[in-house]
Structure 1
């Protein structure tokens, strides 16, 4: 409800209600606000500006030697495609799988852990781990190396549930693979859950690129929705104790 696309709908709804109540002045004001809001979002790279502080917290392609494991966070899988076709598909965050598979080939002795269930509020959906198992198998990753966690519905549960599954005598380093904008919250959450020797491996950059002004309502609104959601999530996790700091450097 807090995403910008919802704000736009609310403004239009208020304009309609004001018009039906014969309050044309407020109806016009709300309609004008919706128009200005749409023009600003569609023209200015607001989402990219909000994502940049998140995506630049950790360097891409960090140097690492002999990692104990590769942690791939769910979110890059497309459950609806699997339900419709039986094929394991990926969405715009599919870079998480591409990077995880590439790292698995680079470090053949490292374990591969995927964590992700279904985050649907209604219905059961397809657990992300089911899709990940098929994607990793089709990419040639040996099943003996793969550990799947399929009950998590959010990042906090990703961290807590995988910590229980992984043996305490495996101290790392662990490569944490997720979208760059999500990495600050992920690192803070994994550190709070007791993980140590985490090495962030950010992928799927959305805010890095051109900051030119130009019309692209769909694309800019999508990026802005992601940015607002992630900043809200980052602050909410800090307030609720799921992360010990707003921005955690390492653990």
Structure 2
């Protein structure tokens, strides 16, 4: 219940739903109250903020400092495990396997396979529980897609009980102990994930994937025309900021290895 409530409340506090509620409040004041000036200010402010968060320079300017904390892994240190954290997914057997990994999941998998190929003899670990309406877990979906891309099933470990990053860290600790491993997740999520894994008594090597904040040249119109693509980048900033606040408020577990 707490997990579901956290997801609902957190989802409504992300930029798009929050600003839509803000604008709706302003429209409500304009249509159904005598506070016309307040309604105009709220509606205009909500529209302006939504516009700014939908522009590439603003969205990527906010996201880049989070993503740049850890560079793409190019190290020579050999590891025994590649841990790929779960993300968005579904499972439709009629689809191409990789189509079932949505949003951030497929880039994480791709980077995980690249690192697995660079570490002969290592194993890949996929994490994540099943959605309530899906018989296939996040971890199993990742494993199936990896196998479709040539990763042998005997080198894959699935941890399909964790529901969030904190539980993923505890499950990995239980599965592999202190063995060296690369931690693969989205670049924006990695700073928060590293905290959970280090609190669990592990020493992960950070391996970011799915970088979104663009620094390469863009066409001028791509920088000045609002787009849902850039709004999604702002959404990642909001999601990770809320996650860090919750992480700080909750604090580390009193029992080592149970973060």
TM range (shorter): 0.7 to 0.9
Count of residues in Structure 1 that have an aligned counterpart in Structure 2:
234
1:105 is matched with: 117
Question: Superposition pairs for residues 211-226 of structure 1, below 5 Å?
Answer: 213-226=223-236
Please name the residue that 1:51 is paired with. 63
What is the RMSD of the two structures over their aligned residues, measured on CA atoms?
Answer: 2.3
1:95 to 1:242, Cα distance in 2 relative to 1, 3 A: farther
Give 1:69 deviation, angstroms: 0.8
The match for 2:213 is 207
Equivalent-residue separation in structure 1 for 2:108 and 2:56 (angstroms): 28
> Match of 1:85, SS?
coil
Stretches of structure 1 lacking an aligned partner (at least 5 in a row) = 245-251
Q: Is the 8 A contact 2:23 2:47 kept in 1?
A: no
Contact 2:129 2:139 in 1 (8 A): yes
Aligned 1:23-62 pairs, distance under 5 A: 23=34, 24-43=36-55, 45-62=57-74
Structure-1 separation of matches of 2:146 and 2:48: 46
Report the CA distance between 1:72 and its aligned residue. 0.6
> For each residue in 1:143-195, what CA deviation from the matched residue of structure 2 results, as whole angstroms up to 9, or x when unmatched?
121110011111101101121122x3xx4321111111111111111011121
CA positional deviation for 1:206: 1.2
Q: Determine the structure 2 residue equivalent to 1:78.
A: 89
Alignment of 1:1-251 (within 5 A): 1-23=12-34, 24-43=36-55, 45-75=57-87, 77-79=88-90, 82-83=91-92, 85=94, 87-88=96-97, 89-93=100-104, 94-118=106-130, 120=131, 123-125=132-134, 126-166=136-176, 168=177, 171-196=178-203, 198-209=204-215, 213-242=223-252
Structure 1 residues 78 and 208: alpha-carbon distance in aligned structure 2, compared to 1, 3 A threshold: same
Contact 2:55 2:231 in 1 (8 A): no
Correspondence for 2:7:
none
Aligned mates of 2:55, 2:152 — CA distance in 1: 47
Matched residue SS, 1:148 = strand
1:147 partner SS: strand
Q: Secondary structure at the match of 2:188?
A: helix
